[in-house]
Structure 1
Amino acid sequence: MAPVSILLNLLWIVLGGLWMAAGWVIAGIIMAITIIGLPWAKAAFTIAGYTLLPFGQKAVRRDSLTGQQDIGTGPLGLIGNLIWLVLAGWWLALGHLVTAVVLAVTIIGIPFAWAHLKLAGIALWPIGREIVPI
């Protein structure tokens, strides 16, 4: 990881990244407890790691990365994402949006606000995403 990414990630953790990553972990734990929610738990834990350290990485659709569809990027992934949206996606997206608005008030917070807006979009539709280094 580049030194700039390390610095940005440290600032990110202080400026809202830690509490939003905790939100993703809580969502993943709740999904894992239900047993039936294990596919959502895996996606939540993957995005939690990305939410904790987003600089130097990016989220991409798995089918664009591998060149072929799988369960998470096909019709079952669509159904899974719709269920996720109703159960947990909307409140995680709302948390990212609120944090982005608070950070956008300051000049130094604008890049972090932009990262939270990207994560808000991912919060609505996380299944079928893969985290890759830039």
Structure 2
Amino acid sequence: MGLFRFFGNIIWFILCGFISGLAWLAIGLLWCITIVGIPVGIQCFKLSCVSFCPFGKNILLGTKTSSLVLNILWVVFGGLELALGYLAAGIVLCCTIIGIPLGLQCFKLLKLAFLPFGARIEIKV
């Protein structure tokens, strides 16, 4: 299974991950321009690592109400664009049999694009 993750991450990085990770980094930089947005920008930088190589990582969404306000602000000021990009890429990739594993990763990251605060990333062994 580790070999599948390795090659999956390489193919993902070439086809989707590079642009996806750069999008997280760009939005993180925009958030860091304001002093209030620095914690949001730092979270974007952390999540860009997941976006570069998502195979072998599991996303668990949080249920705390303290992160609800940040998640609402996130959707309005950056998350919607990322989510729509993941949705479009996931649909296109799932149209081919070979692209289905990559499309499923897009849908996994779609959840993260909507609710990044309070989410936990678990690395599968």
Normalised by the size of structure 1, how large is the TM-score? Answer: 0.85
Deviation track 1:11-52 (CA, whole Å, cap 9, x = no partner) reads: 101121111111111111111111211121122112111010
Give the length in aligned residue pairs. Answer: 124
Q: Is it true that 1:110 corresponds to 2:95 in the alignment?
A: no
State the Cα distance separating 1:76 from its structure 2 match.
Answer: 2.9
Amino acid in the other structure paired with 1:33: I
Q: Is it true that 1:122 corresponds to 2:112 in the alignment?
A: yes
For the residue of structure 2 that corresponds to 1:59, the secondary structure is strand
Alignment of 1:1-134 (within 5 A): 2-61=2-61, 74-134=64-124
Contact 1:50 1:57 in 2 (8 A): yes
Q: 1:65 aligns to what?
A: none
Moved segments of 4+, more than 4 Å: none
Amino acid in the other structure paired with 1:48: S
For the residue of structure 2 that corresponds to 1:80, the secondary structure is helix
For structure 2, the 5+ residue unaligned runs are none
Contact 2:9 2:54 in 1 (8 A): yes
* Whole-angstrom CA distance in 1 between matches of 2:61 and 2:46: 13
Normalised by the size of structure 2, how large is the TM-score? Answer: 0.91
Amino acid in the other structure paired with 1:12: W
Contact 1:46 1:131 in 2 (8 A): no
Contact 1:60 1:130 in 2 (8 A): yes
For structure 1, the 5+ residue unaligned runs are 63-72
* Whole-angstrom CA distance in 1 between matches of 2:79 and 2:88: 14
Contact 1:24 1:45 in 2 (8 A): yes
Q: 1:70 aligns to what?
A: none
Q: State the identity as a percent.
A: 33
* Whole-angstrom CA distance in 2 between matches of 1:36 and 1:20: 24
* Whole-angstrom CA distance in 1 between matches of 2:120 and 2:64: 15
